[in-house]
Amino acid sequence: MKNNLRKLYTRKQIAALKCFKKNFWLLVLHGAKRAGKTVADNDLFLLELKRVRKIADRLNIPEPQYILAGNSLGSIARNVLIELTNKYGIEINFNKHNEFKLFGVKVCCFGHGTIRDMARIRGMTSFGAYINEGTTAVEEVVREILNRCSGEGARVMMDTNPDNPEHYIKTDYIDKADNNKIIEIHFELDDNDFLTDEYKENVKSTTPSGLFYDRDILGLWVNSEGVVYKDFNKSMILARYNKQNIIKYFAGVDWGYEHLGSIAVIGVDGLGNHLLVKEIVAQYEEIDYWVQQAKEVVKEFGNIDFYCDSARPEHVARFSREGFQAHNANKEVLSGIEVVAHLMKTNKFYVLDSCSHFKKEIYNYVWDKSKGVPVKANDDLLDALRYAIYSESSKQKSFERWTGKEWGNYLDKGVKYFGKGVEHFG
């Protein structure tokens, strides 16, 4: 039996599944990405629904309720329901309240990423909950979910990637685990022996050094220290580039007055190499100045997309009135930094030597160890750079989800390349 299980699950997943027989209140599976946490919790979720149905039959409750929560309804579908449908052929039919019945249990789906669904959760009695992506949840929503799990025998499962060590999921739940009422199981990437060694080595070699490696590969709850972009090096600074090899330009805009304002213009070749081709940095300048600078950018690079800091909506609106392709930037800090850092780690990021302010900021942009985010200094141009690259990356992912086509293949049709790496710009 044990050998048969090992054909289906990793050792850590088996340890999690064995918890079904225990009398826990909260089970938290936490650790590295792609380590198998959600697979285990998804199967436990099905077992829990069958267990709840038995309890409800004994208590003569015709329609017991169970909470399924994720960052959004979309993430619940992607991480849980579609996976279960693909694996077991389970058919999910929602009603207009985002609920469905499975094994005789009403499963109520909630997004925990905002406070919005709190009103729907209040007042209900649940016989358990499955919380997916725990660290992305609003603390008040998690507490309300736990409070609602008051049905007989109710218990809660959670899976999550690590965050900073002061995150409430870590301090309030994981750190209080007693292997009895609260059980925590830690996962590393190497725990997933269904992934090939080649795949795992590829992931390790392309994951940015420092915080992202510690969290994504080792599954550690850490804050980093030192410079943010540890993988940037002087070989990424170029004296020149060949414009013929660039297939797309776009820009990021960080408004400023007391602090520096900036525009960062990025060029991309057909292999996904990114090059900072132009920086504009100034202090104590009004919007008219930035409009004039944007006109010069458009004159040089075409009517490109400008991903702008949404903190000044009137400035974004002014850019739009001037005829620029202005958009609110995707400003997620850690996710954006990870995308930029990944480009550096994989040698797909370069900067022109003429971008002198970038060289000043890149070596002085450091982590705030106590908060787990960068110190708000030496970040004006780097914020604009992040807005541009992460927003464009997010748009590409949306394109691929919508069309089923790879963005790179769509863009580089008919484009010829001359060598590799730096040579694409040279």
Residue pLDDT, tens place only, 84-103: 999 999 989 999 999 999 99
Looking at residue 18, its pLDDT comes to: 96
The dihedral sign for the CA sequence 216, 218, 220, 225:
negative
37-58 vs 11-18: helix crossing angle, rounded to 10 = 20
CATH entry, 234-424, from 3.40.390.10, 3.30.420.280, 3.40.190.10, 1.10.620.20 = 3.30.420.280
Percentage of the chain modeled with pLDDT above 90? 80
Q: How confident is the model at residue 422 (pLDDT cuts 50, 70, 90)?
A: very low
The H or E element spanning position 356 is helix 356-362
Q: What CATH architecture applies to the domain 2-211?
A: 3-Layer(aba) Sandwich (3.40)
pLDDT bracket for residue 384 (50, 70, 90): very high
The pLDDT, as a whole number, for residue 399 is 42
Contacts 24+ apart (CB under 8 A), 203-209: 203/34, 206/342, 206/345, 206/346, 207/342, 207/345, 208/338, 208/341, 208/342, 208/344, 208/345, 209/345
Paired tokens of 130: 């499955």
Measured between its terminal Cα atoms, the distance across the chain in Å is 60
Q: Sign (positive/negative) of CA torsion 303, 304, 305, 306?
A: negative
Q: Which amino acid is at 342?
A: H
Percent of the chain with pLDDT over 70: 92
Instruction: Look at residue 394 and tell me whether its pLDDT is greater than 90.
Output: no
Whether pLDDT at 320 is above 60: yes
Cα(410)–Cα(393) distance, integer angstroms: 14
What is the structure's pLDDT at 398? 52
Q: Give the pLDDT confidence score for residue 372 in this predicted structure.
A: 81
Q: Is the pLDDT reported for residue 421 higher than 70?
A: no
List Cβ<8 Å contacts ≥24 apart for 280-289: 281/357, 281/380, 281/381, 282/256, 283/256, 283/257, 283/258, 283/259, 284/257, 284/258, 285/256, 285/257, 285/261, 286/257, 287/314, 287/315, 287/318
C-alpha 68/C-alpha 124 separation (Å) is 13
Give per-residue pLDDT as tens, 140-159.
999 999 999 999 999 999 99
Residue 233 has pLDDT above 60, yes or no: yes
Whether residue 416 has pLDDT greater than 70: no
Average pLDDT over residues 332-337: 94
- Range(s) within the chain of domains with CATH label 3.40.50.300: 2-211
Average pLDDT of the chain to the nearest whole number = 90
pLDDT at residue number 395: 77
pLDDT greater than 50 at residue 423: no
- Within the chain, all domains assigned CATH 3.30.420.280 are found at 234-424
| Residue pointed to by tokens 């900067």 | 351
